Amino acid sequence: MRCILFFLLSIPIVGIIAQERCAVHHDIKDARTLRFEYWLKSKITDRAARRQADDQLLTIPVVFHIIHNGEPIGIGGNLDDQRILDQLQTLNEDFSRTNPDAASTPPAFQSVAASPDIQFALALRDPEGLPTTGITRTRGSLSSYRLTNDADLKSEVYWPAEDYLNIYVAELQGFLGWASFPFSNLAGIDEVEADRLVEGVVIDFQFIGDNPETGGSFESFGRTLTHEVGHYLGLKHVWGDGGCSVDDFCEDTPLSSQNYQDECPSTDQSSCDSGDMYSNFLNYTDDFCMNLFTACQRERMRAVLTSSPRRTSLLESPALTAPISVARDIGARRILAPALGECSSSINPLLEVRNYGTETANSFEAQLFIDNELVETVNFSSTTAPLAIQVINFSSITIDPAFAHDFKFVIGDVDGTQDLNNTNDSLTVALAPTASDPAPFTEDFEDSSQAYFRTTSTEDGLWTVGTAPSDLGNNQAAIAQFYEESSGFGEQHTYVLPNVDLTGVNSAELSFRYAYSDDAPEKKDGIVLAMSRDCGASFDTEDFLFQRFGDELRTTSEMTSGAFVPVDASDWETLTFNITPLLDIADLRFAIIAYNGSGNNIYLDDINLRPTALNALDLGIVDIDRLPAVTCSIEVDPRVRIRNYGFESVNSYAVGYEANGITDAVSVVTDLVPGGEESTPLNVSNLVSGENSVTLLVASPNGSDDQNDEDNRVIRKVVVDTASKTLPIREGFAGQHRWVTTNPRGSTIWDLATPDGNVAFKADGSSSGDDGQDHWLVSPVLSTANLQNGTLVFRMAYGEEETSSDRLRVMVSVSCGDRFEETLVDYTGRALITAPIGGNFEPTDDSLWREVTVDISRYMSFSDIRLAFVYTNSSGNNLYIDDVEIFPTSADQLLRFEAQMRIYPNPSTSGFFNVTLNLPRKDDVTIRLLDLSGKTIAFLREREALNQTFNIEAPGLNGVYLLSVKGENTNLVQRVATGR
């Protein structure tokens, strides 16, 4: 494959193992992709708003890592320097539009072709500050590498991704190349993919520089690297990795469904009713045919390079400046002890130093500071030749394990005079408290003197302790201050839990509370519960126990404007984790990491790590997924979400159901660790029309009795209903309405009521005590009857309730109710309020109602849809729903009036009339245009007319006429005029 970026493409290559051109694929509907696009769009908009001069040449330092199989330089994969220099020239030409074939850009795209104004320079210094050619050579541990070997490849040799674009050149299988996409380290993405150790670009050695003899399906001229670096800087394939319905988020790259792999078109091409940009560097055409980036692609890459973590730092990398070369230069190279995750209070400090100077050093000073106090000065007297390494031993020291400590090592004079380069003279390591606290551990931040925070930032961390109302207004909590903190975008701010002695404990759990809200769901803040296996030296992102980012992070149903402060306990969420499977890990330590997405403040409180009295074998049903409240089918496929609450692993269990006198169960073979969860599918196939009670069961962990069977059974109700209506509809709920009310967990609080004498559905929230349950009001199946457009209009009423967190969602299903795929309306708490009336609310006049309008045209392409009004009760107030209407027009063309008929234009100069009806109920009608003598000039017959717009055409007429609409319950007549 040519490229990967941890996604994929396709291009077989003759003569070598079949490879796809690129392994970078993007799902346009993927949440991470959409959030990245929102972030990137905001950066581009910000740049435009500031009217920044955007003609600055941006330079990226690169290092080519040649991973070979032991061949001499210039043979096989051990490419010679000239091939690398040729490739670098091609890369710079392509990213400055000075490529010789720029003139070959098809005329249709010349106007949008643009220079990214980005250049690439071989690094001048290595991570240690020593001179480098920007090319390294390493014998690989594997003869060839696949995408699954990505981490292995990059572990062969790695330079810090913050300062270098690492380009790995090796023999690949499966793809020609791949690249890390910048969203892998944007705070707030759904998954934590911030591993700096795998940042970079990978290219098959045969496709570096000019190499017409690749044996592949096209001649290589270095455009594979251009393509992959485009991904590294945030570009997507120009066909959007899909058909004509998806795009690459650039308006100046036309929609396309073709990638032109193995092709080099010589004429204009089109696959989506527009010219395909086959010559774009982000297509799959042969290298010979690639020749342009567009203006939008330029904007995307420059926005990423000036804003994204581990991209913007490249522009100020020390690798771009020549190394310092002076006579006397002893530098602190590495702290050997103490390690970041030191767990012992007795420490033997060790510092590794190197002579970076051009002259031999005979003596130098090394100092140790602990918590900013000088502890020891070592006068080291030994001949140290240029580039030689020495280890400095400091005296053993015992630190107070109850507190955090900063160790700082500093190089002083060299040969009795000043060191001539002070940029490498000091190194610091910050140690968390090393005391092993007895279990249980609790931190409520009311006395925060023992709280230990750590940040990845070079500045002070953004954690503080302050007031955060909960059960008490003066409650104290830790606060990650991310509101309007854009300078630290992407940084991690960490609360490190102390060492807790869990010796002899069979089971344990960790819990904490947090609160968060923001003004937009696309913000990127996040929380991760991570674990360390080295006493806190590192918290591997692959070892996280929990993560939430963006909109999923919010603990309040209402968004906030300004800096978020929790109001009371309802704004907080408590999370609990079974850590029993981790108790055997030596040097285990936990951290709660806040990711700064420049969104809003995150509050953290009540951290508890404690032993628990778990049973050995204890399975429980956490929830039931994919079990519809209302469906058309007598067969459903729920998923039973099961959790292992015991402290032993479970390798088998039984899961089943009971419904309408039938019992069925299946045996499941698994590896469910303590605290683990999994979803098991079931097929329930014996439902009947009407309400069904379905009992889901789990039993027999490891073939034995469950030691706690209280959570082994869950009862849910499923309503099978196939009643249908044809759109459009107007529903006032008087008479036979065919809507279904249900609560899958119990009794529903929906019922018909007559506030102010008008029939409406009421959810009795003021007196119900079933907090948190969902109450469903579901429409019959709605046949769209080939409508092109649709607008939902309904009225709602809800009384003021200061502390309520009641919720109303209006949802739509295109699967007859099996799944409600999208939420159209979502109101919670104060957003529900339509009237300033508390208590047992009843709307007594029209002013207390709110009308809601939603365009549902995009669902009209489905033959049958279903609507649901889902009220989540929190003992707040009563909710009323009435006058649900669906119009056969889009919301922007909706025509509202009180009369039963409206004709426009009237008079008509052309003889064409629009007749919009507003009938009280559906009626089969005949619409006629009559002259004054009663003669029919034109007519239409329409079945089930209600609120539609119809057209009467009578061109060439001149004068006054009558327009008549008659049906079984309709008799309307109005004068119309036509003619010039």
State how beta strands 901-904 and 850-855 pair: unpaired
Options 228, 299, 342, 491, the catalytic residue = 228
Distances (CA, A) of 560 to 322, 332, 518, 557: 49, 48, 5, 10
Q: How far apart are CA 96 and CA 113, in angstroms?
A: 11
Q: How far apart are CA 227 and CA 220, in angstroms?
A: 12
Answer for the pair 919, 938: CB distance below 8 angstroms, yes or no. no
Radius of gyration of the chain (CA): 35
Distances (CA, A) of 348 to 335, 351, 370, 530: 11, 10, 13, 29
The alpha carbon of 336 is separated from its chain's Cα centroid by a whole number of angstroms, namely: 38
Q: Is 128 a catalytic residue?
A: no
State how beta strands 602-611 and 508-516 pair: antiparallel
Tell me 243's DSSP state: S
What is the secondary structure of 110-160 as a DSSP string? TTTEE---EEEEE-SB-TTS-B--SEEEEE-SSSSB-GGGHHHHHHHS---
Backbone angles phi, psi at 552, to 5 degrees: -70, -15
Q: How far apart are CA 121 and CA 88, in angstroms?
A: 8
Three-class secondary structure of residue 2 per DSSP = coil
Any long-range contacts for 859-864 (C-beta under 8 Å, 24+ apart)? 859/784, 859/790, 859/812, 859/814, 860/784, 860/787, 860/788, 860/789, 860/790, 861/784, 862/784, 862/814, 863/783, 863/784, 864/724, 864/781, 864/782, 864/783, 864/784, 864/814, 864/816
Q: How far apart are CA 558 and CA 587, in angstroms?
A: 41
Peptide bond into 440 cis (omega under 30): yes
The alpha carbon of 502 is separated from its chain's Cα centroid by a whole number of angstroms, namely: 36
Q: How far apart are CA 90 and CA 325, in angstroms?
A: 32
Interacting residues of 976 by C-beta distance below 8 A, sequence separation 6+: 903, 906, 907, 908, 913, 929, 960, 961, 962, 963
Answer for the pair 727, 787: CB distance below 8 angstroms, yes or no. yes
Interacting residues of 143 by C-beta distance below 8 A, sequence separation 6+: 69, 171
Peptide bond into 905 cis (omega under 30): yes
What is the secondary structure of 694-724 as a DSSP string? EEEEEE-GGGS--S-GGGSEEEEEEEE---E
Q: How far apart are CA 50 and CA 47, in angstroms?
A: 5
Closest CA to 268 of 284, 283, 255, 279: 279
Instruction: Give Dmax (Cα) for the chain.
Output: 123
Tell me 45's DSSP state: H
Looking at residue 530, its amino acid is A
Tell me 303's DSSP state: H
The alpha carbon of 516 is separated from its chain's Cα centroid by a whole number of angstroms, namely: 17
Distances (CA, A) of 925 to 640, 913, 930, 964, 969: 51, 17, 15, 10, 9
User: What's the burial of 87, exposed, middle or buried (CB within 10 Å: 0-12/13-18/19+)?
Assistant: buried
Catalytic residues: 228
